Structure 1
Amino acid sequence: MPFIDYYKILGIDKKASEAEIKKAYRKMARIYHPDLNPNDKEAEKKFKEINEANEVLSNPKNRKKYDQYGENWQYADQYSKQNQQQQHYRKQYGNQAGFESGSHDFSDFFESMFGGGFSGSQFRGKPQFKGQDYNAELQLDIKDVYQTHKRTLTINNKNIRLTIPAGVEDGQVIKISGHGGPGSQGGPNGDLYLSFSISNTTQFKRDNSNLFTTVDLDLYTAVLGGETTIPTFDGKVKVKVAPGTQNGTQIRLSGKGFPVYKKEGHFGDLLISYNVILPKNLSKKEIELFTELSKLAKHEH
């Protein structure tokens, strides 16, 4: 299999930061996404390479291995362990165990890993390696995660049917076992790490399972009390307003917030801050009444 330069695939420098890698991946993925290039085999191949490059370079540990071992980065841990074993047996047995003096390059290592090379029984057979872990990002709207729902993702040309739990948060990462790359020599598949990018264009600010919003309240209801209609995430409700409600007063509606992650039927609270609106363009009669109220207030004090 020819070597693929992941940095070149994403069009970035080897010193690129994590943010630059993420930005480059998103840019390239948009260009070559299968939905935008139907029946284009070259674009499909390029999109697969872009995802593969991102899966490696966006993971600091895997990126370090890739920078050191190149195309053989997945076997870095085994190579390091094998090298330690070689050094141990050299010290203990010299060349009696079938070791050559001097250094061993990657090709020697892989020859020994897959059946050739060493005569010692501890090196017989073919070790099993877990497949490569994949990383993917799913972009959703906050309304999408208000209820549990199912969604089909296409990862490396494979459709994966997932249940997205209500209450998933922006930036949250979940592990989906066995949906990564295939293992080698009969080893298990890798895992899929799915991160969520959740946009929010609603009037509600989210903090875990609680929601926050500001609601305008007319002066007369604030002073005299009464009722007002409050918007919630799933509809409107009427609430009572206490007489003398001040600007900035906050009330809490229990259970009217966002779903609690993986706790079916549990919701956070909705916290509402009142913004008392002063009347404008008063009529002559209103001015007279406010003037009278002002005189009464001064007289009482």
Structure 2
Amino acid sequence: MGFDFYGILGVKRNCSQLEVKRAYRRLALKYNPERHDNDENIQRIFALIAEAYEILVNNKLRAVYDQYGEEGLKRGVPGPTEFLQPYAYHGDPMRTYNEFFGTANPYADLLDYYENPPPMFESPLGKGIKKKIPQ
């Protein structure tokens, strides 16, 4: 028997895409290997979370997984018109993480805001001084 990808993400089988994304976001931030000191178990958990997300967020892969389980998904199954190719996870959970968050550090913008705050009274028109526009 294969992995329960719904259980890995902690979502129900009838969950929405939004719930899958929320669960991945929460778990990916919690189990990011960069937050832990080279713990092999954390790296394995992080990889399983990424693989579960990749499968459950893709409607075609999710339908095959729901019907045939992990083994059917990874062996390939006959489809309505053609044979569906076996699924193989690309093996890089940080790639999934970077694609989801758009960066390796989802807090980079927040940290930059605190380190270099924007000037309070500046605007595109100047530094808080009203200028009369000639008519």
> Common fold, TM-score beyond 0.5?
yes
Distance 1:20 1:56 in 2: 14
**Does the C-alpha gap of structure 1 residues 15 and 130 become closer, same or farther in structure 2, counting only changes over 3 Å?**
closer
Match of 1:215 in 2: 125
Aligned residues: 115
Match of 1:132 in 2: 88
Match of 1:17 in 2: 16
Which protein is richer in strand relative to its size? 1
| Runs (5+) with no aligned partner, structure 2 | 104-108
Distance 1:214 1:197 in 2: 28
Aligned to 2:125, what secondary structure does the other structure show? Answer: strand
Structure of greater Rg? 1
User: Per-residue CA shift, 1:135-192, capped at 9, x if unaligned?
Assistant: xxxxxxxxxxxxxxxxxxx9247xx8xxxxxxxxxxxxxxxxxxx9xxxxxxxxxxxx
Shift of 1:17: 0.7
Shift of 1:222: 1.3
Query: Taking every aligned residue pair, what percent have the same amino acid on both sides?
Result: 29
User: Per-residue CA shift, 1:243-276, capped at 9, x if unaligned?
Assistant: 13xxxxxxxxxxxxxxxxxxxxxxxxxxxxxxxx
Distance 1:130 1:65 in 2: 10
Match of 1:234 in 2: none
Match for 1:73: what amino acid? L
User: Per-residue CA shift, 1:25-69, capped at 9, x if unaligned?
Assistant: 011111111101222111111111000000000111111111111
Aligned to 2:99, what secondary structure does the other structure show? Answer: strand
Match for 1:155: what amino acid? D
Match of 1:5 in 2: 4
Higher RCO (CA-CA < 8 Å; seq separation 6+): 2
Residue pair 2:28, 2:46 contacting (<8 A) in 1 also: yes
RMSD of aligned Cα (Å) = 3.6
Aligned to 1:49, what secondary structure does the other structure show? Answer: helix
Distance 1:11 1:22 in 2: 11
**Does the C-alpha gap of structure 1 residues 131 and 41 become closer, same or farther in structure 2, counting only changes over 3 Å?**
same
- Is 1:45 the counterpart of 2:1? The answer is no
Match for 2:125: what amino acid? V
| Runs (5+) with no aligned partner, structure 1 | 86-128, 135-153, 161-179, 181-192, 204-212, 224-242, 245-301
Match of 2:106 in 1: none
Residue pair 2:51, 2:89 contacting (<8 A) in 1 also: no
**Does the C-alpha gap of structure 1 residues 10 and 197 become closer, same or farther in structure 2, counting only changes over 3 Å?**
same
Aligned to 2:36, what secondary structure does the other structure show? Answer: coil
Report the more deviating stretch, 60-69 or 193-202: 193-202
Distance 1:39 1:196 in 2: 22
Match of 1:194 in 2: 99
**Does the C-alpha gap of structure 1 residues 15 and 42 become closer, same or farther in structure 2, counting only changes over 3 Å?**
same
